[in-house]
Amino acid sequence: MVTPMIKKDKSNEILRKQKLFFRTNRTLDIKLRLAYLKKLYKTIEKYEQEIFEALYKDFKKSTFEAFGSEVALIQEEIKYFLKNLPKLARPEKVKSSITSFPAKSYIYREPYGICLIIGPWNYPVQLIFEPLVGAIAAGNCAVLKPSELAAHTSAIVKIIVNEVFDEEYVSVIEGGADVTQVLLAEKFDHIFFTGSVKVGKIVYEAAAKNLTPCVLELGGKSPCIVDKDADIDLAARRIVWGKFLNGGQTCVAPDYLLPHKSVKKQLLNKILFYINKFYGDDPKLSPDYPRIINGRNFTRLKSFLSDGETLIGGEFEETDKYIAPTVLDNISWNDHVMQDEIFGPILPVMEYDDLEEVLNDIKDRPKPLALYYFSKNKKKQEKVLREVGFGGGCINDTLYQFGNPSIPVGGVGNSGIGKYHGKDSFYAFSNSKGIVKKSNKLDIPFRYPPYKGKLKLLRLIFKL
């Protein structure tokens, strides 16, 4: 597919139209937001088959995964807002400070205005529509820039959006880095970016020029620790699922495995067992195993295969962009595969002896987007959760922090800035205005100058 070039005047024109539409205040109407969310729900439902086909064409994603990890998550998010938006959008009454007496205090959540939402290719439906749902729920207009690498899916996203919204409300602009650069040069009121750390920095720099608030949903190396007291069979099953879903091309996938040395052998045997059970003797023939998105990523991943010792998998086929589910043993922190996010079906393994030590190894590195810890010991679970900084994660499972609208999703430090999903999406796309509504009936003169002789009483009021 040829990337359509977007001229600067085109993005100017869309922005101008959206600004005019936003100024009409129509998006402040909760009924309008709910109506559009319902329409979006129905239209995604209508195009479900086309979405499945596009995802299959882009990287052979199975219908089961396309439904479970893309469509269903968006629909859940919409359902959350259909139920909770009226309450979320209401001004929130909060306690007033004693010095403002007599007054009432509120938080008003106002939409930012025009939001730019830039999506990645790996969950190309979910990761463009979930932020959109939050943006619409909070009363914004939006320009969407889906990833050019999932070109078939980008096209269907555009069809859906054009059917639901007028361009002055939500618009899709397709294209690659050049198009994104044109958009980033515009002054948006908010930017929501999902993608790599490298491009995240470009987006943040562009946003800084206009002091545009942004959410950055980035990636990183997410550790998966399996302690000696874990349920090894269950851990292996859940790790294989979380690692190889979407062909390992999941931002929150376990990037590398840290088994306690006493259970490593047993765990790896079970991992082999479950890879075979899930994908058969030859995963290339499995209808459930996706391909690598493009040649560049295939070559990048292939270069990791010479690290350590290939314990499981290691086969690849360039024409099909196929890489078998692979486990690499005898890996060290200095190996090539341990320098950057893998983002593919390759699992390096490094055993550990002492939990404290391995946690320090993790803390020495950029804060991960996710962390998974397998252990039955509640005390150790709490230790890991409280002592290590990371975006979010699971105890005794993988990925599930992502599919729950009640849990905020996002990284910290290198793995991202800001959170979303459910109410956090609403807040991510809203400016929280603190408002004091003061009574005119009483105006206590104490606050006004001259202050002579008042300090003592002020201290008493503050109890300081």
**Is residue 238 involved in binding ligand NAD (CB under 6 A)?**
no
Binding-site string for ligand NAD from residue 156 to residue 195, where x marks contact by CB under 6 A and - marks none: --------------------xx--xx------------xx
Q: Helix, strand, coil proportions of the chain in percent (round to 5)? A: 45, 20, 35
Q: Are 221 and 348 in contact (CB under 8 A)?
A: no
Strand pairing category for 326-329 and 346-348: parallel
The pair phi, psi for residue 102, each rounded to 5°, is: -95, 125
**Is residue 242 involved in binding ligand NAD (CB under 6 A)?**
no
Contacting ligand NAD within 313-342 (CB under 6 A): 341
Contacting ligand NAD within 197-236 (CB under 6 A): 199, 202, 217-219
Binding-site string for ligand NAD from residue 410 to residue 439, where x marks contact by CB under 6 A and - marks none: -x----x-----------------------
Does residue 217 have an active-site annotation?
A: yes
Contacting ligand NAD within 59-98 (CB under 6 A): none
> Nearer to ligand NAD by C-beta: 75 or 153?
153
Catalytic residue among 77, 174, 217, 341: 217
Q: Residue 90 CB, nearest distance to ligand NAD (Å)?
A: 29
User: If we measure between CA atoms, which residue out of 220, 292, 299 comes closest to residue 249?
Assistant: 292
**Is residue 145 involved in binding ligand NAD (CB under 6 A)?**
yes
Strand pairing category for 256-259 and 416-417: unpaired
Residues that bind ligand NAD (rule: CB under 6 A) add up to a total of: 27
**Is residue 138 involved in binding ligand NAD (CB under 6 A)?**
no
**Is residue 127 involved in binding ligand NAD (CB under 6 A)?**
yes
Spatial distance between the Cα atoms of 69 and 246, rounded to a whole number of angstroms: 9
**Is residue 122 involved in binding ligand NAD (CB under 6 A)?**
yes
Spatial distance between the Cα atoms of 251 and 121, rounded to a whole number of angstroms: 11
> Nearer to ligand NAD by C-beta: 139 or 219?
219
Q: Residue 340 CB, nearest distance to ligand NAD (Å)?
A: 9
> Nearer to ligand NAD by C-beta: 213 or 418?
418
Does residue 115 have an active-site annotation?
A: no
Contacting ligand NAD within 363-402 (CB under 6 A): 369
CA angle 423, 424, 425 (to 5 degrees): 90
Stretch that binds ligand NAD, among 65-73, 196-204, 277-285, 375-383 (CB under 6 A): 196-204
Burial of 198: CB neighbours in 10 Å, binned 0-12, 13-18, 19+: exposed
Q: Residue 214 CB, nearest distance to ligand NAD (Å)?
A: 13
Torsion of CA 253, 256, 258, 263, to 10 degrees: 80
Spatial distance between the Cα atoms of 124 and 251, rounded to a whole number of angstroms: 12
Strand pairing category for 430-438 and 103-111: antiparallel
> Nearer to ligand NAD by C-beta: 108 or 241?
241
Cα radius of gyration (the chain): 25
Contacting ligand NAD within 247-306 (CB under 6 A): 251
The pair phi, psi for residue 362, each rounded to 5°, is: -70, -40
Q: Are 60 and 291 in contact (CB under 8 A)?
A: yes
Binding site for ligand NAD (CB under 6 A): 118-122, 127, 145, 147-148, 176-177, 180-181, 194-196, 199, 202, 217-219, 251, 341, 343, 369, 411, 416
